[in-house]
């Protein structure tokens, strides 16, 4: 019996070592390609960075120089509008699923639709917004692009919010309710504060996903080589600019496409780092209280 027990122990240790080695190798394999992509982005995109790149409008085809300031501003505007539309809707929907609906028929329907939207191709969402907004308005617009991106963001924020709120122990809710707090205040002051980091991560994942979407914008906001701050007019974005410039025969445009791709990557990375620092400080202050 002791021999069999010792053999099983050695087999378990060997299996554990093999799985650990496979897991480590998989992580290294993924990191290798990640750093390879970042290396190419930096190597080919950094030469495009200059003062003109961030301050001047695009030049006509075949003419060197100019910049992508209109695309930078347009991307920020459309992403901000999409966040203002999609994040509140996603958080409220996730809160309903976790706190109110739970196992109701409506909650099951919302989860089903959310799962479908999560896996839906972005180009389908772009065509949908084109049909319901662009055609009735008789023109492309930044608002249509923001709506398309918001539809992509909503299911990600919804499911993340629901899963995070489910992790809050019921004892915390019961304790707050026993003190006489209304349920909506329990959600705001107890549940949200408890899972702030996870909810913020979900919002950042949603923003990171829409930051590189091009297909929906081709059907909604189209493009604009000039300044535009009117959300009801076609708006230039870095995403569509990359699509157009990467296929052009001009070396200067292709270099700018690499620069735009690097700029989007750095923007998402900076947003994630700043949000993580802010969330960690908020949680530290909450624990001290």
Cα separation, 78 vs 153, whole angstroms: 13
For residue 98, the 8-state DSSP code is I
Res. 270: pLDDT tops 90: no
Res. 134: pLDDT tops 90: yes
Residue 270 CB neighbour total at 10 angstroms: 10
Superfamily of domain 70-236+263-283: MetI-like (1.10.3720.10)
Domain regions of the chain by residue span: 70-236+263-283
Query: pTM for this one?
Result: 0.86
201-248 per-position pLDDT tens digit? 888 888 888 988 889 999 999 888 889 899 999 999 999 999 999 888
Phi, psi dihedral angles at 58 (to 5 degrees): -65, 150
71-92 per-position pLDDT tens digit? 999 999 999 999 999 999 999 9
Res. 53: pLDDT tops 60: yes
3-state SS, 139-155, equals CCCHHHHHHHHHHHHHH
285's CB contacts (< 8 A; 6+ apart) are none
Burial class (CB in 10 A: 0-12, 13-18, 19+), 262: buried
Cα separation, 84 vs 230, whole angstroms: 17
Both tokens of 127, joined, read: 């065509």
> How many Å from the N-terminal Cα to the C-terminal Cα in the chain?
56
For residue 188, the 8-state DSSP code is I
Confidence of residue 126 (pLDDT cuts 50, 70, 90): very high
| CA distances, 132 to each of 49, 136, 137, 230 (Å) | 38, 7, 9, 20
């Amino acid at each position: 019996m002791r021999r069999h027990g010792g053999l099983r122990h050695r087999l378990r240790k060997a299996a554990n070592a093999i799985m650990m080695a496979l897991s480590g190798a998989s992580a290294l394999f993924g990191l290798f390609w990640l750093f390879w992509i970042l290396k190419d982005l930096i190597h080919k995109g950094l030469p495009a960075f200059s003062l003109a790149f961030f301050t001047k409008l695009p030049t006509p085809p075949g003419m060197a120089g100019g910049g992508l300031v209109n695309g930078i501003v347009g991307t920020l505007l459309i992403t901000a509008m999409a966040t203002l539309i999609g994040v509140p809707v996603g958080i409220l929907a996730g809160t309903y699923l976790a706190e109110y609906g739970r196992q109701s028929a409506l909650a099951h329907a919302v989860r089903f639709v959310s799962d479908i939207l999560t896996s839906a191709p972005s180009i389908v969402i772009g065509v949908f917004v084109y049909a319901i907004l662009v055609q009735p308005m008789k023109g492309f617009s930044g608002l249509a692009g923001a709506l398309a991106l918001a539809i992509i963001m909503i299911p990600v924020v919804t499911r993340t919010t629901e899963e995070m709120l489910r992790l809050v122990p019921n004892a915390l809710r019961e304790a707050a309710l026993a003190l006489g707090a209304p349920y909506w205040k329990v959600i705001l002051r107890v549940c949200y504060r408890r899972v702030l980091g996870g909810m913020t991560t979900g919002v950042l994942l949603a923003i990171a996903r829409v930051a590189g979407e091009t297909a929906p914008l081709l059907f909604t906001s189209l493009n604009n080589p000039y300044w535009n701050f009117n959300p009801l007019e076609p708006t230039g974005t870095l995403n569509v600019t990359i699509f157009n410039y990467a296929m052009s025969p001009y070396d200067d445009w292709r270099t700018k496409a690499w620069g735009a791709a690097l700029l989007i990557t750095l923007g998402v990375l900076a947003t994630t780092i700043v949000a993580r620092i802010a969330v960690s400080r908020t949680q530290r202050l909450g624990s001290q209280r």
